[in-house]
Amino acid sequence: MIQFKDVDLVYPNGTVGLKNVNLTINDGEFVVVVGLSGAGKSTLIRSINRLVTPTSGELLVDNEDILKYRGSDLRKLRTKTGMIFQNYNLVKRSSVIKNVLAGRLGHTGTLRSIFNAYKKEDVGLAYESLKRVNIAEKIYNRADELSGGQQQRVSIARVLTQQPKYILADEPVASLDPPTSHQVMTYLRKINKEDNLTTIVNLHFIDMAMEYADRIIGMRAGEVVFDGPVSEVTEKTFEEIYGRSIREDDLRGGADQS
Amino acid sequence: MEKEFTLPPKPKNSTFKLIRNIVITVLVIALYVWTFTSIDIDWGRAIERAANNFQRVIPQLFSPDWSATGKVALSMLETVFIAFAGSLMAAILAVPLAFLAARNMMGGVIISTIGKWILSAVRAFPDIILAILFVVAVGPNAFAGVLAIAIGSTGMLGKMFAEILEGIDMNVVEAMEASGANKIQILFHGVLPQITPEFLSYAIYRFEVDIRASSILGIVGAGGIGTLIIFASNNRNWSEMGTILLAIILVVTVIDFASARIRRKIV
């Protein structure tokens, strides 16, 4: 369970990232965070694994305040929160399997990892993860030989290999075309259901949020301005979150092609 | 049929820019004229000497003394060894300095500035000056040459390596941080795979440059083929000089070619 209690975050240059955020995210939920760019979606997600640090309030992950974490506490927190990025962030010159095994680094001793001596069951787990996102045949290809959608699937496999409790996805489909976007979201949704992994996804496409989310959180200027199950959400809700009327480019489209 | 069109008018150069360009041109020409007139060349004498010596020296250079081949080959081999040992040492020394100097590695502008200062200071010495220093320090032998090449190359390689480090994809580093990897793991799995091919490529390129540099180090007594060059020149033995030049040209060409091929393969 993740709880935000009166969380504020002000960046050193004075920009307000988060303003008085109060949220509870329960285990197993599939939450989509929507909002315009600069609304604080990334900041919200990155606070949970402390890539950024809120300046006040309390942030509880599994009932422990993570804002005081440093060093090994922080690394332990990060091993249980897997992250997926907009630009996949794979080591382009390394093979797919090496990239996927990197998800295991947090669970592997330093000396072992220097010599690439991953445990046998870790290698098995990595291969299993690749199979789950249907890309096992690319195991020995270099990461930069794959298409964007394939690279994002490899990065999902990397997160699966990490065996986290939470998945944080920061605009995972923003660099992909509509059919591939739906494929990636479908995998995330499937993993959420099969492994009961709490998943928080940042999106700015309204139609995709509606299609995949259990619950939608709307943000504007660092504040949570909407929080509710997807059944309560209408076009009017989005207009309120975005503070303007809905436009063509707020939609990803292509749902029928997936 | 071609379509008629008009481009929007070009922005006019301001008078300030025009005057500035004229001033710069005039200054450059003046500087050039001034330097040339003040170095005081006796053109008449230079041309006369060149004409006399041309007849004597050039034909001999083109009829190499084959009996010296063995001696020259050995000495050329020593030159290659000096270059290799020196650049290898430099490639190793440059790595920690590069990590120090790269802004995105050790964190902190202060450390990186200190690292950059060290590298500039090392780069400031020409190879030949370093060779003279090391000949005094360790005696007139090949080891002095190796040290001169090593220190001389460390500065340049360190700067290149630091620039490569500053150009890596830091998102990969962030992704590994986000998965709970520690600093050493990030170094080995996130940073090294990104930099190794470029590092090797520059080290090999530097070896190529060092072959040329170490050919002349013998002139100050630091071993290698330069020793033979200075002897041949003192003895006016131009046909042996021809053999030496041939050896240098051959080896440099072969190594340039090989290095280009290897570097294309690894990057």
| CA–CA distance, B191 with A246 (Å, rounded to integer) | 43
Task: Please tell me the predicted confidence (pLDDT) of residue A257.
Answer: 46
| Two tokens, residue B108 | 């902190």
Give the number of domains in chain B.
1
Task: Please tell me the predicted confidence (pLDDT) of residue B264.
Answer: 87
Task: Please tell me the predicted confidence (pLDDT) of residue B32.
Answer: 92
Residue B2, pLDDT > 70, answer no
B13 secondary structure, DSSP code: P
pLDDT in tens, B86-117: 999 999 999 999 999 998 888 778 999 999 99
B125 secondary structure, DSSP code: S
**A contacts of B178 (beta carbons < 8 Å):** 49, 51, 78, 81, 83
Say how many C-beta atoms besides its own lie within 10 A of residue B116's C-beta. Answer: 18
| CA–CA distance, A126 with A138 (Å, rounded to integer) | 13
Query: Given an 8 Å threshold on Cβ–Cβ distance, is A103 in contact with B182?
Result: no
| A77 Cβ under 8 Å from any chain B Cβ | yes
Task: Please tell me the predicted confidence (pLDDT) of residue B67.
Answer: 84
Beta bridge partners of residue A220, listed in sequence order: A223
Task: Please tell me the predicted confidence (pLDDT) of residue A238.
Answer: 87
**ipTM of predicted complex:** 0.87
Confirm whether B11 is domain-assigned.
Answer: no
Average pLDDT over residues B181-206: 92
Confirm whether B82 is domain-assigned.
Answer: yes
pLDDT in tens, B8-67: 887 777 888 889 999 999 999 999 999 888 887 788 888 888 888 877 778 887 888 888
| CA–CA distance, B89 with A133 (Å, rounded to integer) | 46
Provide Rg for chain B, Cα atoms: 26
| Consecutive 10-residue averages of pLDDT for chain A (258 residues) | 93 91 93 90 93 93 91 91 93 92 91 90 92 92 92 94 94 90 92 93 90 92 91 87 84 65
For residue A85, which amino acid is it? F
| B167 Cβ under 8 Å from any chain A Cβ | no
| A119 Cβ under 8 Å from any chain B Cβ | no
Q: Which of B11-25, B147-161, B197-211 has the lowest mean pLDDT?
A: B11-25
- Residue to mutate among B168, B169, B171, B179, with most A CBs inside 10 A, is B179
> What are the helix (H) ranges across chain B?
15-38, 43-61, 69-101, 109-123, 127-138, 142-166, 170-178, 183-186, 192-217, 226-234, 238-266
Q: B259 lies in which domain range?
A: 66-266
Query: Among B171, B178, B190, whose Cβ lies nearest the Cβ of A49?
Result: B178
Confirm whether B12 is domain-assigned.
Answer: no
Say how many C-beta atoms besides its own lie within 10 A of residue A58's C-beta. Answer: 14
| B140 Cβ under 8 Å from any chain A Cβ | no
Sign, Cα dihedral of B139, B140, B146, B147: positive
Residue B204, pLDDT > 70, answer yes
The residue assigned the tokens 């290898």 is B88
Query: Given an 8 Å threshold on Cβ–Cβ distance, is A110 in contact with B174?
Result: no
Average pLDDT over residues B171-190: 92
Confirm whether B75 is domain-assigned.
Answer: yes
Query: Given an 8 Å threshold on Cβ–Cβ distance, is A105 in contact with B180?
Result: yes
- For residue B162, the domain's CATH number is 1.10.3720.10
- Give the number of C-alpha atoms closer than 13 A to the C-alpha of residue A38, restricted to the C-beta side: 2
Say how many C-beta atoms besides its own lie within 10 A of residue A93's C-beta. Answer: 15
- The residue in chain A having the minimum alpha-carbon distance to the alpha carbon of residue B171 is A89
Query: Given an 8 Å threshold on Cβ–Cβ distance, is A89 in contact with B193?
Result: no
The domain locations on chain A are: 1-80+167-247, 87-163
Strand stretches in chain A, DSSP E: 2-10, 16-25, 30-34, 56-61, 64-65, 81-84, 166-170, 198-203, 215-220, 223-229
* CATH architecture group of domain A1-80+167-247: 3-Layer(aba) Sandwich (3.40)
